[in-house]
């Protein structure tokens, strides 16, 4: 090798990276997952490509559906997905302590507290002192909040039906069973349940 020349291995890596960058403009989600798993295995030695594919796909599906529901149902009404989640659990299970609302929505207590303030100002939610503890707060829907939730959920449920309609009823039930299996009894993982 002469001075200034690169070893063949370096040239191969640089060429591969240039080819990968060029190919990146051609990627869609599924070809990206394939590329990611190939590179993760080949270049870094990771050995669980199916687990990566499962969780990338699960995250992608959740993001796509959530974005669609927020964009078509909630944002046009001046609401957010987070606001809907808090109103939804309070509507169907309330009155609720803020702590329980956080648990049911999968949000932090701080997020529920901040969101509740906005929804109180909007006239959809009421906060009253808890019965057992001077620091706890009970959340409940106002009459206006109840009326809005019936209207909003009617629109959301139709959109949910459109999304789920690409699967047969049996496939929907299997998907629910598999997702429950994935997230049930995960005490060894940190985070909200």
Whether 54 has a pLDDT exceeding 60, the answer reads yes
Beta strands 96-97 and 125-129 are: unpaired
Structure tokens at 37: 């798993």
Q: Measured in whole angstroms, how far is the alpha carbon of residue 179 from the centre of its chain?
A: 13
* 86 contacts 101 by C-beta, under 8 angstroms: yes
Query: Which has the minimum average pLDDT: 17-26, 127-136, 165-174?
Result: 17-26
What are the structural domains, with CATH classification, of the chain? 8-67 (no CATH), 78-183 (1.10.10.10)
Which pLDDT tens digit goes with each residue over 36-51? 999 999 999 999 999 9
pTM above 0.85, yes or no: no
The predicted pLDDT at position 131 comes to: 77
DSSP state, 191?
A: S
Which pLDDT tens digit goes with each residue over 149-187? 999 999 999 999 999 999 999 999 999 999 999 988 777
């Amino acid at each position: 090798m002469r001075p200034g020349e690169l070893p063949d291995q370096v040239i191969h890596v640089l060429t591969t990276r240039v080819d990968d960058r060029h190919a990146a403009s051609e990627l869609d989600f599924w070809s990206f997952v394939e590329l990611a798993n190939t590179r993760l295995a080949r270049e870094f030695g990771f050995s669980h490509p199916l687990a990566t594919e499962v969780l990338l796909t699960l995250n992608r599906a959740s993001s796509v559906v959530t974005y669609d529901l927020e964009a078509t149902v909630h944002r046009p009404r001046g609401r957010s997905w987070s606001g809907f989640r808090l109103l939804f659990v309070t509507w169907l299970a309330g009155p609720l302590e803020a702590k329980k609302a956080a648990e049911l929505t999968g949000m932090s207590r701080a997020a529920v507290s901040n969101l509740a303030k906005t929804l109180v100002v909007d006239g959809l939610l009421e906060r009253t002192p808890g019965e057992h503890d001077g620091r706890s707060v009970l959340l409940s829907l106002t009459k206006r909040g109840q009326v809005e939730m019936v209207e909003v959920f009617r629109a959301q449920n139709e959109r949910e039906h459109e999304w789920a309609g690409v699967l047969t009823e049996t496939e929907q039930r299997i998907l629910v069973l598999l997702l429950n299996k994935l997230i049930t009894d995960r005490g060894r993982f940190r985070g909200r349940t």
